[in-house]
A and B are shown apart, each in its own frame.
Chain A
């Protein structure tokens, strides 16, 4: 079992709709979770992170975390063609010395259809 799992997609969503991206993780020691966006041929860039159960909103993006279910999601409201990219979920064990590594899922490719 991979430490962080994502549906590879592709996920196609009409412009203006809500895109829902999901991620599960196996390490219960993970303390915080990050969503990165990666455009084709580019490097990953951070969208947002979450460490408490519940929802965290930032503009059109909402991250959701359920530690009991070991489940993380990212919702993108009012999807735009510029949101078409691969979305990477990552789990972070914490900042104790020796536990700084970020473990990534393989990513979900999202396409927004105009």
Chain B
């Protein structure tokens, strides 16, 4: 089985540009999570979905960040406009509902110049 698939793997953009990160969860997993990882702050939960419904978005830093899950096999995380402090690795993870065992994608490394 394919794991969690994220794209792009690397993104370099200039401040002010829109960034869209994509994620395809493992088939059959009910929950999807977006995390951001930096050296200073570690892994931070941005938002998670259960059965395509956003459940907790309290970790979304500000209105520049938005996430959608239009169906069970696809989610996006959008940053508009991007800023240098958004530079980080963004991980998507999925899990069967209620297990707490996350399966991570390979991550999207974002650099905002």
Shortest CB-to-CB span from A40 to chain B, Å, is 12
Query: By the criterion of a CB under 8 Å from any partner CB, how many residues of chain B are at the interface?
Result: 23
In the assembly, what is the distance between CA of A62 and CA of B60, in Å?
A: 35
- Chain B positions 74 through 113: 1 when the CB is less than 8 Å from some CB of chain A, otherwise 0: 0000000000000000010001011111101111000000
| Given A98-B56, A101-B33, A101-B48: A43 in contact with B99 (beta carbons within 8 A) | no
> Is the beta-carbon distance between A46 and B48 smaller than 8 angstroms?
no
Closest Cβ of chain A to B34, distance in Å, is 11
Q: B99, A107: Cβ atoms under 8 Å?
A: no
Question: Once bound together, how far apart are the Cα atoms of A92 and B106, in whole Å?
Answer: 22
Task: Report yes or no: B33 in contact with A106, Cβ–Cβ below 8 A.
Answer: no
CB of B100 within 8 A of CB of A95, answer: yes
- Contact: A32 with B100, CB < 8 Å? yes
Q: A95-B98, A100-B50 are in contact. Are A105 and B42 (CB under 8 A)?
A: yes
Give the tally of cross-chain contacts (CB within 8 A). Answer: 57
A100 near B42 with CB under 8 A, answer no
Query: Do residues A95 and B97 form an inter-chain contact, with CB atoms below 8 A?
Result: yes
In the complex, the answer to whether A102 meets B100 with C-beta atoms within 8 Å is yes
A33-61 interface bits toward B, Cβ cutoff 8 Å, 1 = contact, 0 = none? 01010000011111001000000000000
- CB pair A102 B42 closer than 8 Å: no
For B98, what are the chain A residues with a Cβ–Cβ distance below 8 Å? 95, 100
B37 to chain A, nearest CB (A): 9
Residue of B nearest to A95 (CB): B98
Rounded to whole Å, the gap between the CB of B112 and the closest CB of chain A is 19
Q: Which residues of B contact A102 (CB under 8 A)?
A: 33, 45, 100, 102
Residues of B within 8 A of A (CB): 31, 33, 35, 41-43, 45, 48, 50, 55-56, 91, 95, 97-102, 104-107
Ordered by A's residue number, 11 sampled pairs between the chains whose C-beta atoms are within 8 Å are A45-B104, A46-B101, A49-B101, A88-B43, A92-B100, A95-B98, A100-B50, A100-B95, A100-B97, A104-B45, A106-B41
Closest 3 CB pairs of A and B: A95-B98, A106-B42, A92-B100
